[in-house]
Structure 1
Amino acid sequence: MVSNNAANNHKWALLIGINKYPKLPEHKQLRGCENDVKLINKVLQENFSFPENQITRLFDEEATRQNILKALQELVDRVNRNDIVVIHYSGHGSRMTDRERDKPDGMDETIMPYDSGRDPHENRDITDDELYKWLLRLSEKTPYITLIFDSCHSGGIVRDPFGARDRWVEPDTRPIEQLPLSQVSATRSSGGTRDIGSSGWLPMSDRYILIAGCSAEESAWEYSKREGNSQIDHGALTYFLCRELRSAQSGTTYRDIFQPVSIQVTANKSVQHPQIEGAQDRELFNVHDIEPIRFVSIVERKHNKVILRAGAAHGMTEKSEWAIYPEATKQIDKETLKLGKVKITAVRAVTSDAEILEENSVGAIAVGTRAIEEAHFYGEMRLKVNIQVPTDYDVAKKDLIERIKESKLLHFAQEDEIADAMVYLIAPRSQVGADAPVPQLGAVNQPTWVVVGNGGQVAAPIRPVDEAGATAMLRENLEKIVRYKSVLALKNPNSQSLLKNKVKLTLKRQAFDGSYVEAQLKNDSGQIVFEDGDRLIMEIENLHNKPIYIYILDLGLASGVEQIYPVMGASQEFHTGKHSIGLRQGEEIKLYVPETFPYVPFPHNGSPAGGVETFKLFATTYPTDFSWLLQEGVRMVLGEQQPNQNKPLEQLLSMALTGNGNREVRRNNIPADEEWTTVEISFLLRRKIR
Structure 2
Amino acid sequence: MKRALLIGSQTQGLSGVHRDIEAMDDVLSRIGFTTIPSMDGHATTDEILARYRGLIEDTGPDDIAVVYYSGHGGRMRNPLHAEDPTLPTWLQYIVPTDADDRSDERARCVLAEELSLLQWDLTEKTENVTVILDCCHAARMSRRGAALPKANDQLAFPEEDLVQRWRAARAANGMSADGNPNAVRVVACSPDQSAFEDYVPELGGRHGMLTAALVQILDKDLGITWSDALEVVRNRVVAEQRPDIEGPADRLLFSLQTRGALGVLPVRVKGTTALLPEAAVFGVTAGDRYALTKPGSDEPFAEAVVVRIVGADAVLQFDGDATQLPVGTSAWPKDVALTRRPVAVLPVDSPHRAELVAAFEKTAGVQPTDHNDGVLATAQIEEDTVNLFDVAGEPLFAQPMPFHKATDAVRVLAIADHVRMLPSGKDKASLPDDVTVSYHRLLPGGREVEVTSGEHLFVGDQLVVRCTNSSLSNRYVNVFDVGLAGAVTELTTSEGSGVTLARDETYELGREWEEGGLPLMWPETLPTGAPRLESFVTVIADRKVDALGRLGQPGVVRAAGGSVNDLARIVDDLAVGRRDVPRPGAGAGVRWRVDRFDFLLHPSARPAGDEPRFELEERPDNSFRLLLPRGVRPPKRIALRLKELTVHSNRSILKSRVRIDAVVITAAPAEEGGPYRASTMRFDRVKDGDRLPFDDVLIYEGPVARFLDIALWVAKDDSPDTDLADLLVTQTADEQVSNAVITLAALAVAAPAAAAIAGSVAAVAVLVRSAARVLEKLQGNSIGVYRTTLLPHQKFGAADGIGRHPEQGLLRANDMSFAFEVVAVDP
Range class of TM-score, shorter chain: 0.3 to 0.5
TM-score (normalizing by structure 1)? 0.44
TM-score (normalizing by structure 2)? 0.38
**Structure with more of its chain in helix, by fraction:** 2
**Structure with more of its chain in strand, by fraction:** 2
